Structure 1
Amino acid sequence: MPHTPPPPRHRANAKSMRKVMTDAELKLWNELRAHRLMGLGFRRQFPIAGYIVDFACPEKRVIVEVDGSQHGEAGRAGADKARTKRLEQYGWIVLRFWNDEVIRDIDNVCQHIVIAAGLAGPT
């Protein structure tokens, strides 16, 4: 898929979202940034296919979304499912973790990311 520059509005949204990360997003970012997780290069608040994803590793085509409780509501869950489907149609692997999961068990979250990126097998 060729890269198409995101609209200026999306770029501005992504930039502002980088400044107001949740505690869970910040904790995960500290594990992902600067190629800290098995050398994987992640970008945060990255525009893809009309969406702004929490974290993306373009090289391995892995997206990581960190969701709060509002994502469990019926209407939001359906929208998330449609979003995931569209991103997968573009060839991305989409992983979703709850905020609480990231806060309580960051090691397991990172292990899932490494497996999805194809750098390790399941244990």
Structure 2
Amino acid sequence: MDDPVSFARRLRGEQTPAERRFWALLHPFRAGGWHWRRQAPIGPYVVDFVCKRALLVVEIDGDSHYGAEGIAHDARRTAYLARLGYRVQRFTNLDVLDNEDGVFNTVRGILGEPEP
């Protein structure tokens, strides 16, 4: 596997439709001063989205996350990130694509109302 930085660069160019939609959902927060990064390396892992100021990682999970191996990997990654002080919020691809309001409201519940 690539080093985390190279891997993150490659993933930024290959975002899924759900990841692209989530990035668009973040616009009011980004416009209000919350800095977000996509496909960002943190230690040995690459997270889908991170807001370091809020110590918030958001993962958009597809099918590969629901098998035994994916669940175990996610548990290790979440434990690592929690040791660094991060909260990990997970959404499924379907959450993002079919329930945008619910996803937005969850993020708003964590960060507060986006600034105008």
Overall identity of the aligned pairs, in %: 32
Match of 1:47 among 37, 41, 44: 41
Structure number with the bigger relative contact order (C-alpha 8 A, sep ≥ 6) is 2
User: 1:77 maps to what in 2?
Assistant: 71
Give distance in 2, aligned partners of 1:41 and 1:110. Answer: 16
1:35 aligns with 2:8: no
Give distance in 1, aligned partners of 2:7 and 2:63. Answer: 22
**Root-mean-square deviation (CA), in Å?**
1.7
Paired positions, count: 111
User: 1:96 maps to what in 2?
Assistant: 90
Q: Which runs of 4+ in 1 moved over 2 A?
A: none
User: 2:6 maps to what in 1?
Assistant: 12
User: 1:109 maps to what in 2?
Assistant: 103
Give distance in 2, aligned partners of 1:12 and 1:49. Answer: 13
Match of 1:56 among 50, 58, 65: 50
Give distance in 2, aligned partners of 1:105 and 1:26. Answer: 14
Does the 8 A contact of 1:66 with 1:97 survive in 2? Answer: yes
Give distance in 1, aligned partners of 2:72 and 2:92. Answer: 16
User: TM-score when scaled to structure 1?
Assistant: 0.82
Give distance in 2, aligned partners of 1:111 and 1:15. Answer: 29
* Cα shift readout 1:58-117 (whole Å, capped 9, x = no counterpart): 111100000001111012111101110110110001001100110001121121122223
